[in-house]
Copies of this chain bind each other. A is one copy, B any other.
């Protein structure tokens, strides 16, 4: 797209014809493409021209303009003079222009604008004459010099404002508008003198010099820190560059019959089909944006300037129909005549996006597939959780990891007991801890949300909160918790027990006070949209669910099975925890068998509930994958309590607990390693699974268990564990006189498993990629410890995204792709899925779809997102998505 030698560098628009079109967004930027397209379809746009974005990068490399550009800009200026009947630098009726940036991707507020360019001591006289308004002409000149000084000469704004203020005081007026023309004239002189004093350079009086200086400034602004940071944050390529739009000035501040405003073709918050926006009479665009005057709601314009309003409504309808999407418009009314200055695809809330898409389908404006294609899947998150009111004023304390979505407010408490006590009384409390452990479970149940200072996205707090559907911010490293003193501090600021805070688990924000929340609301449109998505997608969507409650929630959201049921999560509560602990610290096989016998009926009960909830859909149950240390008692008092329960010596127990501590628990006795060393654990779990399955099947329920061996690194591990599972299955089927079909497979979560996937697939019937662990090992990066450098890495562009949130396709993805290939080479019908956190990440879902996986599995609230993302992946494969994306 970024042209060869013969491609024009400058694109003119005006008099109903434009050189460019909407399809040339990469070259002309969003704004330039929109101006060209509007011109072409007969919308009133002031004439102008756009310098292609490709010049920007070329200029930044050489700091020189190509000679061809000089010629083409001058030619365009001549066309502009012809179109407007004005002369650039003319003293009678001078042509004045605005110069604005405009990249292919909208970067609001990032680039600089200059208005009224072309004014000098001579042309201002012409403007005064033409407008019959000397104050207006000199005010425009004054504004131009100030803007130019700030943008091109890079001077601070304050001195200019101070000079203006002094003039106003001297003249005894309050409003800028009341300053007489002579004062404005003086001010222009002062401004120019200030610029010369500060820079040693004279202010350029030749309009053409002004123009080139402004173009240069637009290009330079592509490289400011603010713009670069924005691009980094939004994964926008630095090589794209910005176009420059040079447009004939129209004036909303010319007289009472003039004004300026912004409008949306539908309400961007609710999606309602009404013209929505606001305007100011007798003002320039910057006055609306700066907030110095309060704008009026757009409907008032109907009464004030009925003709212009009618024209605006007509334009809005035309543009929406033309672009087949809601538009965000900028307009100016000069002497009762409407000019459109910008049209672009409107940002909207998730809620509005769904409603608009559905209604546009009803209106016959777009197809169902287009509706599916155009909703950013992550926007659905807003429909599912309470969110912080975007209009609310926030008092941000710090930001942690967005560990479990949703927002909640409550009084701070520091212990689980206190959370339980106050929570049971009906108080809204937020549990704040350095980190949580299973002993905190009862408090987490009663808290509205959880905040921890340590731990990552897979820490105990994060996992339990996600399971409960409660908001959680984890690993907020700046938070220093002083439980004993009853406060937490962030950078010296203390929050005491009982003070209110608000957590936003979707962004990781921790706010002081009680922020206004917006409650979620699921409309019929939501289900309709997802129904269309389901018709399109081929990838199955499953849910990660550890309890019958999770399983039900997953089904409600449309999950077609459970992709990951983590059996160790079943033991975070009360009784179960103590049985689990007994099992872990058992001195011998006999002690372990006893503890296992206690655990068996608990597990069986859970599995029955889960099987029933899933109504015959497949349920992948992962055998125990404990980070053992999470289950162990943490302090001597806990050890003593457990010792008493078990009738053992506290000292001996402490020795066992110490012996089980590991330097790198993530790389220790985990996954099937435990089942290999203690086969009786695997046998107990297999028995619980198959007994539960037989019970449900015996009552005519359909059951599809898929038993999953965790953390396999060699096929021999898999083989040994699989043998035990098969033996137990046969035993149970014999005992119960019923057979339940089941699959047996493994997690692929270590590089070695991926590398030897051909060997493993010879024995395993399915693979489920555990992308959390696979990311940790492939990168050599513990999620819990990455806080000390990962934020720095992202901020400084060393990595584009947190690999735990966005699947690293070129590293981890390469392993996954290898494993799929190798695995299917030995077993053609190998079932493939993904069950790490990435299972709910849209880009990862597309990646999985491309690899031909059977399903992705994600947490309950991500299921709708995954359904939509999977549909979009399917559409992208068919090419439908690309067409849709190409519209402005």
Interface residues of A (CB under 8 A from B): 662-670, 673, 676-677, 711, 713-714, 716-717, 720, 749-752, 755-756, 773, 776-782, 784-786, 788-789, 792-793, 796-799, 808, 810-812, 814-815
Judge whether A779 and B713 touch: CB under 8 Å.
yes
Judge whether A667 and B667 touch: CB under 8 Å.
yes
Interface centre among A777, A786, A810 (most CB of B within 10 A): A777
How far apart are A523's CB and chain B's nearest CB, in angstroms? 43
Pick the contact of A663: B665, B714, B752, B756 (CB < 8 A).
B665
**A676-B793, A677-B792, A799-B714 in contact; A751/B778 too (CB < 8 A)?**
yes
Residues in B whose Cβ lies below 8 Å from that of A781: 667, 713
How far apart are A15's CB and chain B's nearest CB, in angstroms? 49
How far apart are A748's CB and chain B's nearest CB, in angstroms? 11
Residues in B whose Cβ lies below 8 Å from that of A811: 713-714, 751-752, 755-756
- In the bound complex, CA of A668 to CA of B783 (Å): 9
Residues in B whose Cβ lies below 8 Å from that of A792: 676-677
Judge whether B716 and A789 touch: CB under 8 Å.
no
Residues in B whose Cβ lies below 8 Å from that of A784: 662-664
Judge whether A773 and B780 touch: CB under 8 Å.
yes
Name 4 extra pairs, CB < 8 A, besides A676-B792, A711-B780.
Answer: A666-B780, A673-B789, A676-B789, A750-B780
Residues in B whose Cβ lies below 8 Å from that of A713: 779-781, 811
Judge whether A779 and B798 touch: CB under 8 Å.
no
Residues in B whose Cβ lies below 8 Å from that of A750: 778-780
Residues in B whose Cβ lies below 8 Å from that of A814: 755-756
Judge whether B717 and A667 touch: CB under 8 Å.
no
- In the bound complex, CA of A697 to CA of B811 (Å): 41
**Pairs of residues from A and B, 4 with the lowest C-beta to C-beta distance, nearest first:** A667-B782, A668-B785, A664-B782, A752-B811
The residue of chain B having its C-beta at the shortest distance from the C-beta of A775 within the complex is B752
Judge whether A815 and B755 touch: CB under 8 Å.
yes
Judge whether B778 and A667 touch: CB under 8 Å.
no
The residue of chain B having its C-beta at the shortest distance from the C-beta of A712 within the complex is B780
- In the bound complex, CA of A720 to CA of B799 (Å): 12
Judge whether B782 and A668 touch: CB under 8 Å.
yes
Residues in B whose Cβ lies below 8 Å from that of A786: 668
Judge whether A666 and B669 touch: CB under 8 Å.
no
- In the bound complex, CA of A481 to CA of B779 (Å): 36
How far apart are A531's CB and chain B's nearest CB, in angstroms? 40
Residues in B whose Cβ lies below 8 Å from that of A793: 676
- In the bound complex, CA of A792 to CA of B749 (Å): 22
Residues in B whose Cβ lies below 8 Å from that of A676: 789, 792-793, 796, 798
The residue of chain B having its C-beta at the shortest distance from the C-beta of A671 within the complex is B780
How far apart are A826's CB and chain B's nearest CB, in angstroms? 15
**A669-B788, A792-B677 in contact; A782/B752 too (CB < 8 A)?**
no
- In the bound complex, CA of A374 to CA of B673 (Å): 39
Judge whether B780 and A812 touch: CB under 8 Å.
no
Judge whether B752 and A779 touch: CB under 8 Å.
yes
Residues in B whose Cβ lies below 8 Å from that of A664: 664-667, 782, 784-785
Interface centre among A711, A797, A808, A811 (most CB of B within 10 A): A811
The residue of chain B having its C-beta at the shortest distance from the C-beta of A789 within the complex is B673
How far apart are A853's CB and chain B's nearest CB, in angstroms? 19
Residues in B whose Cβ lies below 8 Å from that of A751: 751, 777-780, 811, 815
Judge whether B662 and A782 touch: CB under 8 Å.
yes
11 pairs of residues in contact across A and B, judged by CB atoms under 8 Å: A667-B667, A667-B776, A667-B781, A668-B782, A716-B798, A750-B780, A751-B779, A751-B780, A755-B778, A777-B777, A777-B780
Judge whether B756 and A789 touch: CB under 8 Å.
no
**A677-B792, A792-B676 in contact; A797/B716 too (CB < 8 A)?**
yes
